[in-house]
Amino acid sequence: MIKMLRQFFFLCVFVSTTAEAVVAPVPAPPKQAATSFLLIDFNSGRILAEKNSDEQIEPASITKLMTAYVVYKELDAGRLTMDEMVTISEKAWRMGGSKMFVEVGKKVSIEDLLKGLVIQSGNDATIALAEHIAGSESTFADYMNQYARALGMNGTNFVNSTGWPHKDHRTSARDIATLGKAIIEEFPERYKLYAEKQFTYNGIPQYNRNKLLWRDDSVDGMKTGHTESAGYCLISSAKRDDMRLIAVVLGTRSEKARADVSQSLLSYGFRFFESSKLYAAGEGLNKARIWKGENENLSLGLKEDLHVTIPRGQYKYLDAVMEVNKDIVAPVEKGQQLGTVKVMLDGEEIISRPLVALQAVAEGSIWQRTKDQIIQLFQ
């Protein structure tokens, strides 16, 4: 018997130390030749790599992400339709830089102009959309800034719709990632356009400038940018299995460099991290005693899905701790915070979310309130 116990103890120790040994350390992100960059997990929002992510710089044509975002908002609100026709102004026609090659005075559909904006990065298409929606490009820029503030893009100020150089036209890698995430989250069907490699208009075929669309099948967006002062920029997004990453790279020296740096960041993120959904929104995670209510028990959960991004192979070391408020007294509103969920990795807190009431509980009868008050006194 003693011999068997010793063998069992040895086996337990061996399994424990072996499990700890297989957890490989995560290397530091690769150094990148860019003014700034940011790599985040789409679902959890965790930052996996960054450099000068809050530094305000010129975004160049990445600006057009916000132009498109405003157009999507107008479409969803019913103030715009895809088959609506837009008359091309002389300003839009004369605009320099990348073009869709629309002609002055001609009518072009919103659908075609959106393709010209997203796929070809046409400055002419962009200004035509801005003028059609707001009357002038400067008024449209005010509209853009309102949405930027609503999204929490606190380091951003737009002066125009195209990203044409201007000393007051500024944003940051963090704000660009926020905007990219919002487009994918709010407009998943419209986001599919960012994966299109080519669009032909007026007999002129043009190709998407995002070279990662040809390199990596998991990449499905988003937007390039370039001016002499901003350098070569790219926000890209890729999805492998259930994990989506967003990489923002600003201020590289060439088209190849912005693609190489972006690919390097995405590869690093997918290689060394994994993302999982721990709990779904509305899922009952805990039952709390509620006093003086029409019900005695209250189900608690989360308002939104809870995702975590952790180093690969460490999922088994995750643990969740739920802290529930003491002496919860009715009435309680649905969505009211009554505690906290803390997710721990190897004893260290990595994320926390409010634990909320999943249903409302009204105040109980006089009898119920009196009974509960007596019970509480004795407790």
| Active site (catalytic) residues | 61, 64, 121
CB contact set of 353 (below 8 Å; sequence gap of 6+): 302, 304, 306, 340, 341
Question: Cβ-count burial of 151 within 10 angstroms (0-12 exposed, 13-18 middle, 19+ buried)?
Answer: middle
Q: Which residues of 155-191 are buried (b: 16+ CB within 10 A; e: fewer)?
A: bbebbbbbbbeeeebbbbbbbbbbbbbbbbeebeebb
Residue with tokens 């994918």: 184
Q: What are phi and psi of 190, to 5 degrees?
A: -70, -25
Vertex 26: Cα angle to 23 and 27 (nearest 5): 145
Q: How far is CA 116 from the centre of its chain?
A: 24
Question: Cβ-count burial of 347 within 10 angstroms (0-12 exposed, 13-18 middle, 19+ buried)?
Answer: exposed
DSSP 253-286: SSHHHHHHHHHHHHHHHHHHEEEEEEE-TT---E
222 preceded by a cis bond (ω within 30 of 0): yes
Q: Which helix (H) or strand (E) holds 13?
A: helix 2-21
Give the dihedral sign, CA 28/33/36/38.
Answer: negative
Helix axes 64-76, 173-186, angle to 10 degrees: 30
Residue 61 DSSP code: G
Q: Which helix (H) or strand (E) holds 36?
A: strand 36-41
CB 350 within 8 A of CB 344: yes
HEC string of 280-328 equals CCCCCCEEEEEECECCCEEEEECCCCEEEEEECCCHHHEEEEEEECCCE
